[in-house]
Amino acid sequence: MSDFKLNLSEAEEHLDEAVDGDVVLGVLNGSTPDREWIEAVEGGSVLVLAVEGDLNELANGFARPIKELGGSLTHFRRFLVVAPPGLEIDTDRL
Residues 6+ apart with CB under 8 A from 1: none
Query: Is 83 exposed, middle or buried (CB count within 10 Å of its CB: 0-12, 13-18, 19+)?
Result: buried
pTM of the shown model: 0.79
Q: Which amino acid is at 60?
A: N
Per-residue pLDDT tens digits for 7-57: 666 666 665 556 678 999 999 999 999 999 999 999 999 999 999 999 999
What 3-state class would DSSP assign to 77?
coil
CA-based nearest residue to 34, from 26, 77, 20, 85: 26
Contact between 52 and 74 under an 8 Å Cβ cutoff? The reply is no
